[in-house]
Structure 1
Amino acid sequence: MQKWIQQPSDSLLMLGDFNASYYVFPYEVNPDTEIVIKGQFSYARYMSFTLIGQIDTVIATAPDQALIPDPGSTNPFLPGANWNANNRNYTIKIRPTAPPQGSEHFVPEAGNNTFYAGNLKDGSPNRFGLIGLRIYVPSLGYDKTGGVELPKITYCAVERDYRKTKLARVFQKNELPENPLNSISILNKKTSIHHCSDIVGQNCDLTWSRIGVIATRILQPDLNTVYIVSEQIKRDPGKLLFIRWKAPTFPDTYHNIGILGNENMRYWSMSFITRVGLLGLYTLSDFQTIVDKKGYVNLVISFGASRPSYVTPENGFNWIDASNLPLVPLTLFYRNNQVSQGFPYSAKNIPEGEIVPPEVMGKYYPCGKYVDPLYFNSCCLDYNDKLNKDNC
C-alpha cells in the first residue's frame, strides 16, 4: 500500500488554484505489478486522475464523468444523477503494459477503469511517473477530499498470487522533478457619465495566450481544462486594472445542488501566479465571484491605489488589493474546466503558446484596461433597470 502526497497550491511549478487540492503518488512500471485505486466520488465540483509518465509527460486524464462506477454505485457527476447517492464507489487500475492496439491510454469500464502506463503517447517505453488527483471546490460542509477521504492505493501481483513485488520509488514529501526551465490624472467632475461596461469590445491592455508546449509538459495539466495566461501585470500604484468579461455558467455543487448538464462549463477561476517559479498566490473562483445584473464579472485590481467609493459588491464589483501579494512580477491565469461542447466561447481551439484573439471568446474574453481610480467616479454599469445617477 502507499499514501498520497499532497502538493500545496503554492508549490513550485503548480500554477495552483487555491480552491483545489492536489495529490500525487509516484509509480514504477513493473511487469509483475498492477496498481489498484479504490475510492468514492467526492462531494465536490470536479475531480480527475492524470497519468503522468517519465520526463513529466502527461499520458492521459480521466475526468470524473468518464469514470464508470462500480456495480451498484452511482457516478454523481453525470448530468441529472443523484448528487447525494450513498453508493458512489469506483475502481481504477494502473497496468504496466501498452494499451491494446487501437485503444486509448485510458479505458473506462465498470469496476475496472484502466490506465495503461507501459508507454508514452508517442509509443516510446515508459518506466516511471506520477498519478495525480485533483479535487476542486469541496461542497459546503465537507473537507478537502469532498467528504470521502483519499482513495486507497494497493499494489497487486498481476498473477494474483500476492507475492512480494518491487514497489514504486518513494519521493520526499513535496519534492518535484528537476526543473528544466531553470501619478494620478485629475478628471473634471463635470465629465459626462459613461458606462463602465464600455470596456467590453474596446482595445484591451491585457494580452492572453494559451500556455506553451514546454509549460504543458512541465506543469502536468489536466487535459480537460483550457488554460490561458496573461502577459505580465504592470504594478502601477497610481492605476487600477479593470477586467470585465461575461461569466460562464457553472453548476452550484458548492451548495450541494447536482449537475444539470446545461452549464457552459464545470468550473472557472482567475488566479495570480508568479512569473518566476510559477507559484500560485491567490484565486478568485466562480462561486466566490460577484456577477452583475447583466451576467458580467467586473474585477478591479489595485496595486496600492485606494478603493473608489463606487466599487462595491452592491454595484456589481469584485475588488482585489494586489499590493498585499508578494512584490514579485505577477501574471493572471484563467482556467476553463470541462467546457461544454455547445459553448464556443473558449480558447480550446487556439494552439498552445499562441495569442488568444478577443473575437474568439467574444464577451467571455477577460478584457483588461488600466484606468485612473477616478474613472469609477464618473461611470455607471449599464444595467437594464433605471440608472442611479446619484451614485455615479
Structure 2
Amino acid sequence: MTDKNIIAEAGSINPFIDGAVRTDPSRRYLVTVKPGDPNDPANPSEDNTLYDATSAAGEEAVLIYRNYVPNIGADRTGDVGLPRVTLHLADGSTLQGEEACAAMSAGTDPLGIPFVPADTYETLRANFEPARETPAFRASYGTAFLFQCDFQGNCENNPPRNTAFYANADNQYLYSFLNQDFGDVVVIRGKIPGIPETLNDQEFFNENDLRYWSLCQNEYYSQAVKECLYDEQVFINPDGFYTIVTSEPENRPENADSDCGVGYLPWPDKGDGFSIVDGKTDDPDSAFLIVRNMLPADDFNQAIQNTMTAGDEASVLGDFMPKATYMSKAEFEDLGCAPYTSLAYDQL
C-alpha cells in the first residue's frame, strides 16, 4: 500500500500527495489488514484495506513497514513513532501491544535469507565469477535468472519479471556484481532522475521523476547492506552526472570526497557475506551494488520499472543507466580534484 494512496482521517492530510503541506501536524490514518488474496474477485476493493495474500486460516503472512529517510533532525520514524496495531478477534474483542503479538504468534525473524542453499552457492561461486571486467548493471528478474545469467553466463532468454532483494510494486532494482581482482577502485557515473527535495523540512511536497533513488553496497549472500548513498546526498558534477567511488577504506583515493565532487561507498568488509553460514568463508574481494528506483511518475519512461527484456536496460534508462570502470587508487588520484573531466560518461 503506497503512502500517497492512503486516505487520511477526517481533519488530517496525507503529506505525500502532490502539493500537500508536509509540515501540517495532522497526519492521522487508519489502515485495515485482512486475510485473503488481493486478486480474488470475491474480496472487494476497499479504501485503506490491505489483503495479506493468505489463503487459509493460520497461514503465515509478512507485513513490512518501510521508512527510508527522515527529515534532518527527525528520528527514524519522522518523529511520529511506529504505527499502533489493534487485533480484532472474531468475538468482537480487541487486543493491542504484546497481547496482540502473542495471539498472532508474531515474529521478526528475517525471511528469505539466504536466497539459495549454501552448498549450491559454493559450487556456483567456485565455477564461475559473476563479476565482469566491465561491470554490468542488470534489472532484477529474480533469483533463477540471476544464477543462469551471472553464475552460468547464459543471459539470452526472456525471463518473467519476478521480484528479488525485497523489491515490490513501488521499488525495482539494478544490480552489479563486482570483484577487486579487476581493480582496487570502482568508479560509477550516471544521472539521477528528478527527486522531490524533502530532507531539509521543505514545507510542500511536489512530485518529480522518482520518489527516491539510492546506490548501495551489499553482501550478496547474506543480503546485508554495507552502506548507501541516496539522491539528496549525491553531489552532481558540472556535466550533470554523479561520480561515485567504491573501494576498501584503505584503498580510498584522497580525491574521493565531496570537495572534489566525488561520493564514496566503502566495500563490504565481509565481501559476499558467506560466513553467515557456519563453516563457510567469505569472499572478501566480491561486492554487490544495488541501484533503487522508487515510485516513478507515470510520465517518466526511463525508470527501471519500464525495462521489459533482459538486456534492454541501457536503451530504456539512457543517461540514468550507471556505468562503471575499475581503476587503481593511484590512477584515480592522478585525475586530480575534478576527476569527472577525465571520466566522460559516454566514454566509459
Output the TM-score relative to the length of structure 2: 0.72
Corresponding residue to 1:169 among 79, 94, 105:
105
Partner secondary structure for residue 30 of structure 2:
strand
1:83 deviates by 0.5
Where does residue 181 of structure 1 map in the other structure?
116
Letter in 1 for 2:168: D
Per-residue CA distance 1:2-57 (angstroms, 9 max, x = gap): xxxxxxxxxxxxxxxxxxxxxxxxxxxxxxxxxxxxxxxxxxxxxxxxxxxxxxxx
Where does residue 54 of structure 1 map in the other structure?
none
Q: Please, which runs of 5 or more residues in structure 2 have no aligned partner? A: 118-132, 145-161, 272-283, 342-348
Corresponding residue to 1:152 among 64, 84, 93:
84
1:82 deviates by 1.1
Q: Please, which runs of 5 or more residues in structure 1 have no aligned partner? A: 1-61, 183-203, 384-392
Corresponding residue to 1:275 among 220, 227, 246:
220
Contact 2:217 2:265 in 1 (8 A): no
Where does residue 124 of structure 2 map in the other structure?
none
Letter in 1 for 2:173: Y
Aligned residues: 292
Letter in 1 for 2:327: V
Distance 2:113 2:335 in 1: 52
Partner secondary structure for residue 358 of structure 1:
helix
Distance 2:115 2:255 in 1: 46
Deviation >6 Å, runs of 4+:
103-106, 163-166
Structure 2 residue 38 is the aligned partner of structure 1 residue 93: no
Structure 2 residue 281 is the aligned partner of structure 1 residue 340: no
Corresponding residue to 1:367 among 320, 323, 327:
323
Structure 2 residue 176 is the aligned partner of structure 1 residue 241: no
Contact 1:271 1:332 in 2 (8 A): yes
1:289 deviates by 1.4
1:349 deviates by 2.4
Aligned 1:1-392 pairs, distance under 5 A: 62-98=1-37, 102=41, 107-108=46-47, 113-117=48-52, 119=54, 127-158=59-90, 160=92, 167-171=103-107, 173-174=108-109, 176=111, 181-182=116-117, 205-214=134-143, 216=162, 219-230=165-176, 232-236=177-181, 238-258=183-203, 260-303=205-248, 306-308=251-253, 310-322=255-267, 326=271, 327=284, 329-351=286-308, 354-372=310-328, 373-374=330-331, 377-378=334-335
Letter in 2 for 1:358: A
Partner secondary structure for residue 80 of structure 1:
coil
Question: 1:159/1:295 Cα in 2 relative to 1: closer, same or farther (>3 Å)?
Answer: farther
1:73 deviates by 0.8
Distance 1:92 1:146 in 2: 19
Distance 1:376 1:312 in 2: 11
Distance 1:323 1:292 in 2: 26
Question: 1:249/1:325 Cα in 2 relative to 1: closer, same or farther (>3 Å)?
Answer: farther
Distance 2:332 2:143 in 1: 40
Bigger strand share: 1
Question: 1:228/1:371 Cα in 2 relative to 1: closer, same or farther (>3 Å)?
Answer: same
Bigger helix share: 2
Per-residue CA distance 1:362-389 (angstroms, 9 max, x = gap): 1111100113443563575678xxxxxx
Contact 1:80 1:258 in 2 (8 A): no
Contact 1:239 1:305 in 2 (8 A): no
Per-residue CA distance 1:242-281 (angstroms, 9 max, x = gap): 1100122212211111554342111111111112222211
Distance 1:245 1:154 in 2: 45
Question: 1:98/1:225 Cα in 2 relative to 1: closer, same or farther (>3 Å)?
Answer: closer
Partner secondary structure for residue 314 of structure 1:
helix
Identity of aligned residues (%): 21
Contact 1:65 1:75 in 2 (8 A): yes
Output the TM-score relative to the length of structure 1: 0.64
Distance 1:262 1:276 in 2: 35
Distance 1:234 1:86 in 2: 48
Distance 2:25 2:35 in 1: 33
Contact 2:20 2:206 in 1 (8 A): no
Question: 1:206/1:106 Cα in 2 relative to 1: closer, same or farther (>3 Å)?
Answer: farther
Distance 2:293 2:250 in 1: 30
1:233 deviates by 0.7
Letter in 1 for 2:288: T
Letter in 1 for 2:73: G
Per-residue CA distance 1:287-308 (angstroms, 9 max, x = gap): 2211112331101223477555
Per-residue CA distance 1:198-257 (angstroms, 9 max, x = gap): xxxxxx922112223348566443320111111x21214854211100122212211111
Contact 1:267 1:337 in 2 (8 A): yes
